[in-house]
A and B are shown apart, each in its own frame.
Chain A
Amino acid sequence: MKKKTALLLSAGMCLSLLTGCGGGSFAENTASENGGNTGGSTMSIMISGTESDAYTQCIKDLIAEFNSGNEYGVTITPEFLATSDYKTKLSTMMASDAEPDLFFTYELSFLENYVNGDKVVSLQEYLDADAEWAGHFNSGTLEQLTFDGSTYAIPFAQCIAVMYYNADIFAQYNLSVPTTYEEYCSVCDTLLANGVTPVALASTSDDAWLVSQYIQQLANGIAGYDLFDSLNQKTGKWNDPAFVQAATLFQEEVNKNYFEKGFTGVGNDEARAIFQNGQAAMYFNGTWEVPNLDSEELCSIAGSVGCFTMPAVDPQYADISVGALDGSFAVSKNCQNVDAAVAFLKMLTSDEWEGKLLYEYGKLPSTSMEIDSEKISSLCQKVIECMNGQKALTAWFDRMDTDLGNEFNNCGVAISNGDDPQETYDNLQSYSESN
């Protein structure tokens, strides 16, 4: 009798274990069954961005509108994650064949990894079938999402790195927007002489890309677009003299205290706050910062923020900025209804929603929509002018090559902490050769 009870109990334990493990797939089954019964289906979308990224609200509104009536009867369920978590979660889901139907993606190698892994649906036929839609995108945007002649994702915004400045402080010390690197240095020197921190910059290891985007911008102004292009074609070298010179200039700036005290321990949010509170005269970051800088609520100097593109060290390479797409969406092979996904992407990139993203959330459109300058803030207007004035854009290196780009970012942190530029980039080059 006792034996039977023991067996019964342990059988119960085993059973509870099994139900515990099987919970996930059971829930999935019911979800798809429900979808099947009602004639529609659900589609998952994973998006990089949290509550603090204003634009996520626009995406939520868009999804709500799409769900409320579309000819496919599809309901989209979104999931929002902070950028670093997003990258980890997406790569893990991809590796375990559990990817969402639609996913946010960066361009170049970030997407290429997944394309090579046969995880992404080519959208080329949809673009070919709708020439108007395809022709709507700014030149140079779709190309960054195209591999072997097929486009795999649709961009909805663009961005470049610009130097924001506090016009009040500039006016107070009779400074004008610098047009050459020498002028930029003299602006910084004047500010320093008056006890003002010239530039707010972050340089913790989590925000390594911020230092490196500054160095990359300097390097663009030293060697031009060819430097980026050669690295992208895998013919260039990471210890190129242009990088060493850029890093050396950067180190000179560090030694002259152009950046806030203790900037090697300052994170992105802190650096932004320093600028927002008027404690620094300039702030180097992407155009996605516009909503944080032109809103009275968030920024005490909102009315007086202007921007300019960083002047080139060698004037012939002016107007070549660090910049790329500011978000794209791709459709995964898991997606059951690609037509519906494409319909969603078309809605996202329609003038109506690109306009909302721009006018309400400061996202610069990836399409050639007509911009109503009365609906945007003066800062947003200036940012668009900066962007239109660019001859070429060089993507962040960690988007071009995840591994080496990450190491390039780490090198930036090492250099801001005083490591020798030549030696640091020599190490990076030998690392790239050892792979």
Chain B
Amino acid sequence: MNKVLGNKKSIAVFVLPAFVIYAVFALFPIVYNLYISLFETDLMSGMKFVGLKNYLSLLTDQTFIHAFKNNILLVIGSLIAHMPLAIFFANAIFKKIKGAAFFQSVFFLPSVICGVAVGLTWTFIYNGNYGLLNAFLRVIGLGSLEQVWLSDKNLALFCIMIVVMWQYVGYHMIIQLAAMRNIDAALYEAASIDGASAWQQFTNITFPMIKSILKIDAVLIITGSLKYYDLVAVMTGGGPNHATEVMSTYMYYQAFNILKYGYACAIGVVLMLLCICSVGISNKVFQTEDN
């Protein structure tokens, strides 16, 4: 078997099926997308070559700029919830607080529920007339704060961000917890003999040892937030009046609602470039000694 795997041709044969799938569903669409983004087209009545016009119009398109800002807010919100908060929870469970296994399941549960179901559930919670949130505010005597949450252009995005934070905090907690569990217990033993406090143990052992995982995690968080789609689509559809639009929902709107496929492809390319850049940046920020 080793001999077979050592042969480059047989490696190629084994890799081929996966590569074909990857090429058909990822590489080709990316290149085709780049190509279409240089045209003004509804994909039916011929394609008009416009060069970089689509990209230049993006720079002055207020809705796109707004969607971009929303994505940045989403990245910041997710980084806060999924880095410090998730590390805090992971560390607490790692240190075996009472009921650690229970909390681990509870925090992780939302991330296994389908995004559409989560979105619908929270839409009901935020509902202005029969929503849980308004009912709760009334019960505790804060009825004056009642809102039609998802229809208020200033609040809607934050309402969605809270759901995103809630949904994925457990997922990143699990990733970080797994990294923590890989750390040699002897290190902690030695540290506690030397009289290191819990905080010192965290800053000097846990954090440096999980740094490489945090790097991957940061990439996941940032790219995930940049291409975020499902909760926004389900909860507000990008509305009211584009207030909660993010780049991917705006891309969908341009392509499928108003048939500007070229323009939508340009948004797709920008989105891809941003994701690639964010990978580079997080590699820099979380540079570890071994690379």
Contacts and interface: CB of A to CB of B under 8 A. Distances in A.
B256 A91 contact: yes
A92 B13 CA distance: 35
B44 A2 contact: no
A148 to B, nearest CB: 14
B241 A10 contact: no
Nearest to B148: A265
A417 B10 contact: no
B139 interface: no
A252 B261 CA distance: 39
Contacts, number: 117
Interface in A117-137: 117-119
Interface string B27-68: 000000000000000111100000000000100101000000
Interface stretch (B85-93, B149-157, B181-189): B149-157
Residue of A96, A114, A410 ringed by the most chain B CB atoms within 10 A: A410
A117 B62 CA distance: 29
Interface stretch (B73-81, B231-239, B279-287): B231-239
B237 A206 contact: yes
A3 B4 contact: yes
Nearest to B146: A262
A84 to B, nearest CB: 9
Contacts of B237: 205-206
Chain A contact patch, size range:
35 or more
B227 interface: no
Interface string B1-43: 1011001001001101100110010000000000000000011
Interface string A82-107: 00000110011011100000000000
Contacts of B44: 94-95, 113-114, 116-119
B240 A417 contact: yes
Contacts of B21: 17
B215 interface: no
A96 B43 CA distance: 8
B140 interface: no
Contacts of A92: 256
A94 B256 CA distance: 11
Contacts of B238: 205
Contact of A205 (B16, B57, B127, B239): B239
Interface residues of B, number: 41
A120 to B, nearest CB: 10
B128 interface: yes
Nearest to B45: A117
Contact of B258 (A94, A403, A413): A403
B144 interface: no
B241 A410 contact: yes
A256 interface: no
B240 A414 contact: yes
Contacts of B242: 410
A417 B152 contact: yes
A171 interface: no
A203 interface: yes
Interface string A204-218: 111010000000000
B151 A204 contact: yes
Interface string B107-146: 0000000000000000000011100000000000000000
A402 interface: yes
A264 B259 contact: no
B257 A2 contact: no
A261 B17 CA distance: 58
A16 B271 CA distance: 34
A114 B45 CA distance: 8
A81 interface: no
Contact of A264 (B17, B128, B261): B128
B42 A205 contact: no
Given A114-B44, A204-B151, A91 B10 contact: no
Contacts of A413: 151, 239-241
A262 B130 CA distance: 10
B48 to A, nearest CB: 13
A192 B247 CA distance: 43
A99 B275 CA distance: 34
Nearest to A90: B256
B4 A6 contact: yes
B257 A87 contact: yes
A7 interface: yes
A200 interface: no
Given A14-B17, A205-B237, A265 B261 contact: no
A208 B260 CA distance: 21
Nearest to A274: B129
Given A2-B1, A3-B7, A117-B42, A410 B257 contact: no
Interface in B225-268: 236-242, 256-261
A399 to B, nearest CB: 13
Contact of B10 (A7, A17, A96, A117): A7
Nearest to A405: B258
Contacts of B261: 95
Nearest to B149: A265
B151 A264 contact: yes
A434 interface: yes
A339 B236 CA distance: 45
Contacts of A3: 3-4, 7, 10
Contacts of B257: 87-88, 402, 406
A205 B241 contact: yes
A65 interface: no
Given A3-B4, A17-B20, A114-B44, A262 B148 contact: yes
Shortest Cβ-Cβ A-B pairs, 10 listed: A205-B239, A117-B44, A262-B128, A95-B43, A265-B148, A265-B128, A414-B241, A264-B151, A117-B45, A403-B258
11 contacts: A87-B257, A94-B44, A118-B45, A119-B44, A270-B129, A406-B257, A410-B241, A413-B240, A413-B241, A417-B151, A419-B153
Given A13-B17, A264-B148, 11 more contacts: A14-B20, A87-B256, A87-B257, A95-B43, A116-B44, A118-B45, A265-B149, A402-B258, A414-B240, A417-B152, A419-B241
